[in-house]
Amino acid sequence: MNEALLARYDASLRGLARKDRLRTIAPRAGLDFSSNDYLGLAASKRLGEAVAAAIARGTPVGATGSRLLRGNSPEHEALEADAAAFFGAERALFFGSGYIANFALLTTLPQKGDLLILDELAHASMHEGARAGRAEFKLAAHNDIDAVEDAITRWRAEGGMGRIWIAVESLYSMDGDRAPMARLIALADRHEAFLVVDEAHATGIWGPDGRGLAAAFEGRDNIVALHTCGKALGASGALVTGPGTLCDYLVNRCRPFIYATAPSPLVAVAVREALAMLSDEPQRRVQLQECVAFAGRQLAERCGVKPSGSQIQPFVIGDNRRTMAVAAALQTRGFDIRGIRPPTVPEGTSRLRISLTLNVDEADISAMVEALVEVLAST
Ligand SMILES: Cc1ncc(COP(=O)(O)O)c(C=O)c1O
């Protein structure tokens, strides 16, 4: 064995361990307080039956090629047609994952000479896309509209001539807070800018029929939205919705779309069924909001936590080691709560990310809060 070959990776892993930042993959166990299966659709009977029926009528597992070649199937097209109608956009395009879709959007749409301004807390996939893309890019302080406007004004004053792109999440994945959507749209309009909105944690839950927090603005020429399908929709993949011209441009210019095998037609069937469930089963959203309110009250009363008001509730501990020790103690007691450390969250803000889903009920939430109180006192 040539140890020198692997030495630098080994050293890097040991460095992470010294900072209490070494990650490992653990089996799934305990009550679900960590998944993004907010509406409990992933294992729902209806989603499973839709896929079983598709298999029974001969829908293939594999797409067999790129969407631009033989990989395009009626299931993809039916999903995209339904999704465009559901979200109120001119068109929709289905990608294999939200990560790839964000990366693809930000490396394909903003052009050389443009300026891309990204919220500093936006998802890693947006940061990677911004870094790899052709446009100049700047980070803006989280949810700070004035910072975005200042960046635009400065760039123009320095001679920037291109188009402005603003990229945000609508509901932030690690803090559970919302973007100031109406003000962002107004800002984009003022500067004839495009707004890219990652609705990953809003799709299915927030907005009319679960259409997301930018639902009122979809269909406009300057909005591109990303609706991931592996979270509240219980499947996988992502739907990009926006103007037809931009979707055509992606089909022609977006390398991660062109040079990849299309997602499984069976997944397209599942996502299409999930969209139908959002319309047919609004009680799931109501039930989730009740869970969110119940957990918010309990956590505020018993642990002094400020409720985020959404299904994502951070509990910031700060120290990496203590965060992981608290998470481990909760897991030992049967509650699947994960610790989140840098670089996923800013340095010094390690936290428990408590996720509320329909996979638990109020009794489970009460038991979890009780356990959290005890564990915090002893860890
Ligand atoms: C805000 C946000 N955007 C994009 C993604 C990536 O989506 P996917 O898991 O479908 O790749 C995630 C998932 O972690 C996310 O939280």
Tens digits of residue pLDDT in 124-144: 999 999 999 999 999 999 999
Architecture of domain 28-40+282-378: Alpha-Beta Complex (3.90)
- What pLDDT, in 10s, does the model give residues 157-183? 999 999 999 999 999 999 999 999 999
- What pLDDT, in 10s, does the model give residues 26-47? 889 999 999 999 999 999 999 9
* Residue from 76, 123, 191, 227 carrying the catalytic annotation: 123
Residue 258 has a pLDDT of 98
Residue 3 has a pLDDT of 82
Q: Does residue 127 line the site of ligand 1, with CB under 6 A? A: no
pLDDT surpasses 80 at 1: no
Query: What percent of the chain shows pLDDT beyond 70?
Result: 100
Sheet containing strand 350-355, edge to edge, reads: 312-318, 350-355, 338-340
Element (DSSP H or E) covering residue 295:
helix 283-303
Share of the chain residues as helix, strand and coil, in percent rounded to the nearest 5: 45, 15, 40
Q: Please give the structure tokens belonging to residue 203.
A: 């799709």
Nearest CA to ligand 1 atom 9: 98
**Measured in whole angstroms, how far is the alpha carbon of residue 5 from the centre of its chain?**
36
Mean pLDDT of all residues in the chain? 97
Ligand 1 geometric centre to CA of 160 (Å): 31
Q: Ligand 1: which of 231, 267, 345 to mutate, judged by most atoms within 8 Å of the beta carbon? A: 231
Domain with CATH 3.90.1150.10 in the chain: 28-40+282-378
Q: Please give the structure tokens belonging to residue 202.
A: 């809003």
Q: How confident is the model at residue 99 (pLDDT cuts 50, 70, 90)?
A: very high
Q: Please give the structure tokens belonging to residue 18.
A: 């010294």
Which residue type sits at 349? T
Residue 52 has a pLDDT of 98
- What pLDDT, in 10s, does the model give residues 108-124? 999 999 999 999 999 99
Helices (H) and strands (E) in the chain, counts: 13, 12
Spatial neighbors of 104 by CB under 8 A, at least 6 apart, are 95, 129, 250, 254, 255, 256, 257
CA distance 16 to 2: 23
pLDDT surpasses 90 at 2: no
Q: Ligand 1: which of 171, 228, 236 to mutate, judged by most atoms within 8 Å of the beta carbon? A: 228
Residue 173 has a pLDDT of 97
Q: Which CATH class is domain 59-280?
A: alpha beta
Residue 140 has a pLDDT of 98
CA distance 154 to 130: 19
Domain with CATH 3.40.640.10 in the chain: 59-280
- What pLDDT, in 10s, does the model give residues 297-346? 999 999 999 999 999 999 999 999 999 999 999 999 999 999 999 999 99
Q: Does residue 203 line the site of ligand 1, with CB under 6 A? A: no
Average pLDDT rounded to a whole number, residues 204-212: 97
Q: Does residue 238 line the site of ligand 1, with CB under 6 A? A: yes
pLDDT surpasses 80 at 242: yes
